[in-house]
Structure 1
Amino acid sequence: MGCSNMLTGFLNLATFILSIPIIAVGVWLSKTHDTVCVRFLQYPVIALGVFILLVSLAGMIGAWCDKKFLLLLYLFVMFLLIVLLFCFTIFAFVVTNSGAGNAVSGKGYKDYRLGDYSTWLQKRVNDPTYWAKIKSCIADSKVCNDLGTKYTTVAAFNKANLTPLESGCCKPPTDCNFTFVNATYWSGAPAPGATDTDCGKWTNDQSILCTDCDSCRGGVLQNVKSNWRKVAIANIIVLVFLIIVYSCGCCAYRNSKRDSGYKGYA
């Protein structure tokens, strides 16, 4: 057995072992959580784990048992995975290239506007079905629950370093100029001449607040931008690893063909 076959087999053994906890997490989510938010996650997690398990198994058997068909199938799937991962990484950088929080004078937090982000991302969060799932996730994570007791004075609230979700979904936009009661309860009417449509969407209902506002969608997209940038950087590392594994697999397949040729000649 060639060195490339051994290395390919061991690398796939490592990914095979990694797939087991991934599947376990997906099963755990399906058994212990029944919210829309978690159901939205559990099936992709299980599918990803099963996919990694099967591909790794094909790579191990193909490399260690000298099965050319499995090696060829493994290399084909790996090639597609590398191409798709590369395309997704480029796409992630492109769609998250625009958008940022808007600094507010005298405030520690920023305001977020939906229109600042890419058109593709805007269309996603404007889809009613998709947004309903996101709102469920916001409710499940209890983003706004502690703000009312954490910031009870306007001075403390103005200095608060709120997250994008807290700023966009838990309070009205600053331009509305409502009167502060606490971080999640505001009184009064919108300032004269206020053009932000979110001023009319804000409600003191603690189960809703500004989750129907465009500012909340903007806060979600700012989170998406930050997370996708991190994922894209991680993808670059994964791509380098996959290319190394793919190169080893190619060498293993070439060795397998060469050994078959020698046997046929003998």
Structure 2
Amino acid sequence: MAIRMSNNVIGALNLVTLLLSVPILVSGIWLRSRADGTECDHLLSTPAIALGAVLMAVAVAGLAGACFRATWLLWLYLLAMLVFIVALLCFTVFAFAVTNRGAGEAVSGVGYREYRLGDYSTWLRRHVESRKDWARIRSCLADAHVCRRLEERERESKDAAGLVRLGLSPVESGCCKPPTSCNFTYTGGTEWTRTAAGSAPAGRDCSAWGNDEDDLCYGCQSCKAGVVDALKRDWKRAAIVNVVILSFIVVVYSVGCCAFKNSRRDNYAYHSGRGWKRGGDA
């Protein structure tokens, strides 16, 4: 009875773990398919999918070991869980470390935030600034039409107040309009008119801006900063979720170890008792 109860405990806990892996896997797929431009970088979606898949495989192994009373499979399950806990802990600490810096700054008089690349962690900046990675991200941003909301408002609003009402995301703020410091005149949608020569600050982002929908500010540092901020927010949320998952997994692992230990002890006592009885009967 004790053996069966221990196996039932392990099985029940791993059933819950299996159910937990499903939303993690789904969230990773959702992150990759989102239509706000962050799907252009798989820096978070790939680990989320891998995390869900590994957790699902480990839970299935634990369920199989408990149902079929396969001691070797339970050993493998506990070892895999230990490795998983260590890896998740390292990933969580790293995620908090790379998201401890950077935030958008409210621009005086306009009501939305703008972002500077230098405010964020070196690791995130280097990932986005890489020529190869940014070429891929930039192409994806244009293909994903991340500025569609602004383009659709072209006929509704001809002043910057319309941008405030939209509530610009970091990617929209950095990639779909020039920085406020350029002093361009807003004419609606994603259209901006350059000021007279010499009246605008000489800045890389100001010269990089183009009204063509394939250009906009995709070559701007502010666009890279917007992408980094979106990644930072996703990683921060992931780190918080990881703390919850890690706490649950540690409890599952601890209870699983105790149940497995009790199962082995009861199994040993059962077989020893049978051996003693047979020897006595002889």
Note whether the superposition's TM-score is higher than 0.5.
yes
Structure whose alpha-carbon radius of gyration is higher: 2
TM-score, scaled to structure 2? 0.79
Question: In the alignment, residue 98 of structure 2 is paired with which amino acid?
Answer: V
Which residue number in structure 1 is paired with residue 169 of structure 2? 163
Match of 1:120 among 112, 123, 140: 123
| Greater displacement, 212-221 / 56-65 | 56-65
How many residues of Structure 1 are paired with residues of Structure 2 in the alignment? Answer: 260
Query: In structure 1, how many angstroms separate the alpha carbons of the residues matched to 2:91 and 2:106?
Result: 31
CA-to-aligned-CA distance 1:77-123 (integer Å, 9 cap, x gap): 11111111112112111111111111211011111111111111110
Q: CA deviation at 1:222?
A: 1.3
Which residue number in structure 2 is paired with residue 65 of structure 1? 68
Q: In the alignment, is residue 239 of structure 1 matched against residue 241 of structure 2?
A: no
Equivalent position SS for 1:208: coil
CA-to-aligned-CA distance 1:1-26 (integer Å, 9 cap, x gap): 35443122122224445657877999
Return closer, same or farther for 1:29/1:195 CA change in 2, 3 Å cut-off.
closer
Equivalent position SS for 1:186: strand
Q: CA deviation at 1:42?
A: 8.6
Which residue number in structure 1 is paired with residue 266 of structure 2? 259
Which structure 2 segments of 5+ residues have no match? 33-38, 274-282
Poorly superposed stretches of 4+, deviation over 6 Å: 20-30, 41-46
CA-to-aligned-CA distance 1:31-86 (integer Å, 9 cap, x gap): xxxxxx58959976765554333211210122233222211111111111111111
Query: In structure 2, how many angstroms separate the alpha carbons of the residues matched to 1:47 and 1:111?
Result: 33
| Identity among equivalent pairs (%) | 47
Question: In the alignment, residue 99 of structure 1 is paired with which amino acid?
Answer: G
Which residue number in structure 2 is paired with residue 5 of structure 1? 7
Return closer, same or farther for 1:191/1:261 CA change in 2, 3 Å cut-off.
farther
Which residue number in structure 2 is paired with residue 219 of structure 1? 226
Query: In structure 1, how many angstroms separate the alpha carbons of the residues matched to 2:98 and 2:48?
Result: 24
Q: CA deviation at 1:192?
A: 4.1
Question: In the alignment, residue 232 of structure 1 is paired with which amino acid?
Answer: A
Which structure 1 segments of 5+ residues have no match? 31-36
Query: In structure 2, how many angstroms separate the alpha carbons of the residues matched to 1:38 and 1:108?
Result: 27
Which residue number in structure 1 is paired with residue 158 of structure 2? 153
Match of 2:135 among 132, 136, 140: 132
TM-score, scaled to structure 1? 0.84
Equivalent position SS for 2:186: strand
CA-to-aligned-CA distance 1:153-206 (integer Å, 9 cap, x gap): 225236343111111010011111112222411122576472431112111111
Asked if 1 retains the 8 angstrom alpha-carbon contact of 2:205 and 2:222, the reply is: yes
CA-atom RMSD, angstroms?
3.2
Match of 1:228 among 205, 230, 235: 235
Question: In the alignment, residue 243 of structure 2 is paired with which amino acid?
Answer: I
Query: In structure 2, how many angstroms separate the alpha carbons of the residues matched to 1:29 and 1:94?
Result: 21
Q: CA deviation at 1:144?
A: 0.5
Q: In the alignment, is residue 54 of structure 1 matched against residue 60 of structure 2?
A: no
Return closer, same or farther for 1:144/1:18 CA change in 2, 3 Å cut-off.
same
Question: In the alignment, residue 253 of structure 1 is paired with which amino acid?
Answer: F
Question: In the alignment, residue 111 of structure 1 is paired with which amino acid?
Answer: E
Q: CA deviation at 1:264?
A: 4.5
